[in-house]
């Protein structure tokens, strides 16, 4: 299902699904983005949570300028290499093997201030496969029964990177020292199970299978059951959108209100992406 039910002056919007995702047509990001276009892009972003743009033959500078429409780019973390001379652009290379991203998750929720958004530009893609899916966690929260909402409102979850990222951190000759330094820098972090979006005010489920290890303030047995139930919400097709990458496709998504899943079905083919992440705030 798709439709052009929202009218914008600077581009055309086409819904990808009734719940999440929209295609933006009529923009060439090599050209200057006007103030009016910036305002409309932000409106579309907050409403649809993921924006897809095809055929964007842009430079790294263009990608950074586009990302700035939605927030402040942050420098590349220690886990991924940066593009030479571009400290705000991460280089993501893969051949489709399981790398921890083929699990429903939001990025960096183990940090005190997880990034607010992610902008990904396709450089090289496999001939088939390698799709990415997103799920709306606002839609997931809205659909919960009221008695479940009353139980999870006020609970907190512990988010930890070690279970999934220890192998990545320990790679290389200085891996053990980097692991110990990362442990000191990023201890387990506690965030609310139900987060209020800082811009829309909408409530959303802020628990993911990759990084949320347990719930606090509740018995272990009930906490584990609730955590499993909440992480499974992202698997619901009615909350999802699926995107097939093409060369020069550009996607930006709200990392606060969505989870995503990178399908790793394209081995041994190669994929290369450039990623810009935007600074976030403390979940509340």
Is 57 part of the annotated catalytic residue set? no
Q: How many of the other CB atoms lie within 10 Å of CB of 80? A: 13
State phi, psi for 163 to the nearest 5 degrees: -60, -35
Q: Retrieve residue 87's tokens.
A: 């400290």
Q: How far apart are CA 280 and CA 73, in angstroms?
A: 10
Is 105 part of the annotated catalytic residue set? yes
| Pairing mode, strands 117-124 and 271-278 | antiparallel
Catalytic residue among 15, 48, 62, 107: 107
Q: Which residues of 1-31 are buried (b: 16+ CB within 10 A; e: fewer)?
A: eeeeeeebebbebebbbebbbbbbeebebee
Catalytic residue among 105, 197, 227, 274: 105
Of the candidates 99, 98, 96, 63, the residue with the CA atom closest to the CA atom of residue 79: 99
Catalytic residue among 15, 227, 260, 274: 260
Is 260 part of the annotated catalytic residue set? yes
Is 48 part of the annotated catalytic residue set? no
As annotated, the active-site residues are: 105, 107, 260, 275
């Amino acid at each position: 299902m798709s439709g052009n039910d929202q009218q914008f002056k600077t581009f055309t919007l086409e819904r990808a699904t009734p719940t999440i995702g929209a295609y933006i047509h009529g923009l060439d990001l090599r050209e200057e983005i006007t103030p009016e276009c910036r305002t409309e892009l932000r409106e579309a972003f907050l409403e649809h949570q993921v924006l897809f743009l095809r055929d964007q033959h842009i430079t790294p500078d263009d990608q950074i300028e586009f990302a700035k429409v939605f927030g402040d780019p942050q420098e590349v973390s220690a886990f991924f290499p940066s593009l030479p001379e571009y400290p705000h652009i991460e280089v993501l290379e893969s051949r489709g093997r399981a790398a921890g991203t083929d699990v429903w998750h939001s990025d960096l929720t183990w940090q005190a201030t997880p990034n607010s958004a992610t902008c990904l530009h396709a450089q090289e893609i496999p001939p088939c496969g390698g799709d990415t899916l997103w799920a709306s966690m606002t839609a997931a929260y809205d659909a919960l029964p009221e008695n479940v909402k009353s139980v999870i409102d006020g609970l907190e979850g512990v988010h930890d990177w070690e279970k999934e990222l220890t192998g990545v951190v320990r790679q290389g000759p200085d891996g053990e020292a980097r692991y110990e330094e990362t442990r000191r820098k990023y201890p387990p972090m506690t965030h609310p199970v139900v987060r209020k979006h800082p811009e829309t005010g909408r409530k959303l489920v802020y628990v993911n299978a990759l990084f949320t290890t347990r719930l606090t303030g509740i018995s272990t047995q009930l906490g584990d059951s609730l955590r499993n139930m909440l992480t499974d919400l992202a698997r619901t097709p009615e909350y999802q959108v699926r995107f097939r990458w093409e060369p020069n496709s550009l996607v930006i998504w709200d990392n606060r209100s969505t989870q995503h899943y990178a399908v790793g079905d394209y081995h041994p083919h190669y994929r290369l992406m450039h990623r810009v992440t935007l600074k976030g705030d403390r979940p509340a």
